[in-house]
Amino acid sequence: MTTFPKDFLWGGAVAAHQLEGAWQAEGKGVSLADVMTAGSNQTPRKITAGVQAGENYPNHTGIDFYHHYKEDIKLFAELGLKCFRTSIAWTRIFPQGDEAKPNEAGLKFYDDLFAELLKYDIQPVVTLSHFEMPYHLVTEYGGWRNRKLIDFFTKFARVVFQRYRQQVKYWMTFNEINNQAQLDDWFLFTNSGLQVQPGEDAAELMYQAGHYELVASALAVQIGHQINPDFQIGGMFAMGPSYPASPDPRDVMKAERTMQANYWFTDVQCKGKYPAWLKQYWNRQNYQLDITLEDEDVLKAGTVDYIGFSYYASHVVQATDAEADDFMTQASDTQVTNPTLQASAWGWLIDPVGLRYALNWFTDRYDLPLFIVENGLGAVDKFAKGQIHDPYRIAYLRDHIQQMALAIAVDGVNLIGYTPWGIIDLVSAGTGEMSKRYGVIYVDKDDQGQGTLKRWKKDSFTWFQHVIATNGQDL
C-alpha cells in the first residue's frame, strides 16, 4: 500500500504569541494576545482594555522561546522534523501596525530563527496572522471593520515575503479565518480585533471584517507570487465536521447549513467568489456591505495554492423548527453529544475517522493539496522524576495518522504534510492555561507562571521520532 509520499512534511506547529514571550523585546508592540488574561476550563480569558497592572497575562512570557529557540530547535532536529510551522508576530515587525517603516530588530529575530531551522534542514512554514494583530489597530481603527487594515496587512505581508523569500516556501495568510463565523466574542476579537458596540449587528460586522480579510489575503497571495513564483500560499481553516444527529432529513439539512455557515471563507479563498446562498442571505438581511467590483476581481485573482487546516474534533447538530434558513444560528446552540465518541478533558470529541471525512470533504469540494497544520490532544500531563508518560497522546496521534494513511492510500487524497499542534508545550489560545498541554516536549511552567522552563522529552517524543523515521509506516 502506498502511503506517505517520500517528501511528506512531518512537522510541528506553534504560534508566535503562544510561545515566544519577550513581549516587549527589541521594540515589539502590544498584540491582541498581550491584553488577554489567563483563564481556565471554567473561567474564560478576559480581554482587558490595554495591559493592566496586577493581571496575569501568560502570553507575555510564553515559554520564552525567544531566548530558548536554539535549544528547542535542536530537540526538533533530534525528533526528525522536516518542517516547523510558526507565525511571524506582526508586532515585532510593525509594533503598532501603521508605521511607515518596519522594525529591523524584529526582522532580524526571524532571520536568525529561520537560519537556525534551516541549519538542520527544517523548513519554516509561516502563518502571517495568528490571533496576534497589533492592539493599536483595534484601539485606533476598530480592527478589521476598517478597510485601512487591508493596506497595513499587505504592507506587512510584502515586507516579510521579500525578506524571507529564500527561506520560506509555505505560507498561510490568516489562522482559522472561519472561526469568527461562530460570532463568539472571543473569536471576533482574536480573529479580527472586533469588539461589538451596542446597537451593532455582530453578524453584519463579521461579514464586513471577514470580507476585508479575504481581500487582504487575496492581495497577499498575488504579492507573494510576484516576489517568488515558487511560494505556496495557503488558507488556514478550523475544520470540525458537523454530523446530523439522526437520519431525519431536517437534521441532515441542519448539518449541511452548519457546514455552509462555517466554510464559506474556504469557498472564497479556494474558488475566488462568494457562494450564492450567502449573497441571498445578505440581501434577505438587508446588509449594506462594502464590497466593490474591484474587490471581487481581487478575490478571483488571489485564490490559494493549498488548504491548511486544523482538526481537533467533530460536532453533532440537531434541527430545531425555527431555524431552517437561518444560516447564522450557531452550531453550538444545537450541538448534541455523540455517544459513539470519547471526549478530551476539555470536552473536545475525539474522532479520528472525522479527519478522514474532512480530508475527503475538502478534496471533493476544492481539489487542492491539503496540509494538516494542527491536530492534537490537550491533556494534563504528570511529571515524575524527569519522565512524562503520555500514552493517551500517542493513541490520539496514532489513530489520526492511521486515518491520514487511509485517506492517502485508499481515497487518493493529496496530503502534503502534518504538523501536530503545540509540538512543544505552550500557552493555550482558548484558555491561557499552561496545563492544557499538547507537546511531545514538556516545559516546566505552571498556570501561575512558575517553573524552571526546563524542557523534557515525553514518551510521545520517542514514539513520534520513530513515526517520522519510518515515514509513517510504523505507528
> Per rule CB under 6 A, is residue 86 in the interface with ligand BGP?
no
- Identify the residue among 430, 465, 468, 471 touching ligand BGP (CB under 6 A): 430
CB 360 within 8 A of CB 260: no
Nearest residue (CB) to ligand BGP, 129 versus 338: 129
- Minimum Å gap between C-beta 16 and ligand BGP is 10
Instruction: Tell me, rounded to whole angstroms, the distance of Cα 249 from its chain centroid.
Output: 33
Nearest to 472 by CA among 411, 408, 413: 408
Active site (annotated) includes residue 104: no
As a residue count, the chain comes to 475
* Cβ count within 10 A of residue 457: 18
- Minimum Å gap between C-beta 310 and ligand BGP is 5
Grid cell 527544517 — which residue?
122
- Identify the residue among 428, 455, 460, 472 touching ligand BGP (CB under 6 A): 428
Residues in contact with ligand BGP, shown as a per-residue x/- string from 207 to 246 under the rule CB under 6 A: -------------------------------x--------
* Cβ count within 10 A of residue 229: 7
> Per rule CB under 6 A, is residue 420 in the interface with ligand BGP?
no
Nearest residue (CB) to ligand BGP, 15 versus 443: 15
> Per rule CB under 6 A, is residue 129 in the interface with ligand BGP?
no
Residues 367-386 that bind ligand BGP (CB under 6 A): 374, 378
Pairing of strands 232-239, 415-418: unpaired
Determine the 3-state secondary structure of 306 from DSSP.
Answer: strand
Residues in contact with ligand BGP, shown as a per-residue x/- string from 166 to 185 under the rule CB under 6 A: ---------xx---------
Nearest residue (CB) to ligand BGP, 155 versus 436: 436
Extract the C-alpha cell encoding 318. 440537531
Integer Cα distance of 10 and 85 in angstroms: 10
- Minimum Å gap between C-beta 39 and ligand BGP is 10
Residue nearest to ligand BGP (CB): 430
Extract the C-alpha cell encoding 339. 455517544
CB 317 within 8 A of CB 335: yes
Cα–Cα distances in angstroms (integers) from residue 396 to residues 260, 413, 419, in the given order: 28, 21, 14
Residues in contact with ligand BGP, shown as a per-residue x/- string from 12 to 51 under the rule CB under 6 A: ---x------------------------------------
Which of the ranges 48-56, 210-218, 262-270, 421-429 carries the binding residues for ligand BGP, by CB under 6 A?
Answer: 421-429
Which of the ranges 63-71, 359-367, 393-401, 423-431 carries the binding residues for ligand BGP, by CB under 6 A?
Answer: 423-431
Integer Cα distance of 105 and 284 in angstroms: 50
Integer Cα distance of 292 and 198 in angstroms: 27
What's the first-to-final CA gap in the chain, in angstroms?
A: 15
> Per rule CB under 6 A, is residue 310 in the interface with ligand BGP?
yes
Nearest residue (CB) to ligand BGP, 20 versus 295: 20
Indicate the helix (H) or strand (E) that contains 335. Answer: strand 335-336
* Interface contacts to ligand BGP, rule CB under 6 A: 15, 175-176, 238, 310, 374, 378, 421, 428-431, 436
Active site residues: 374
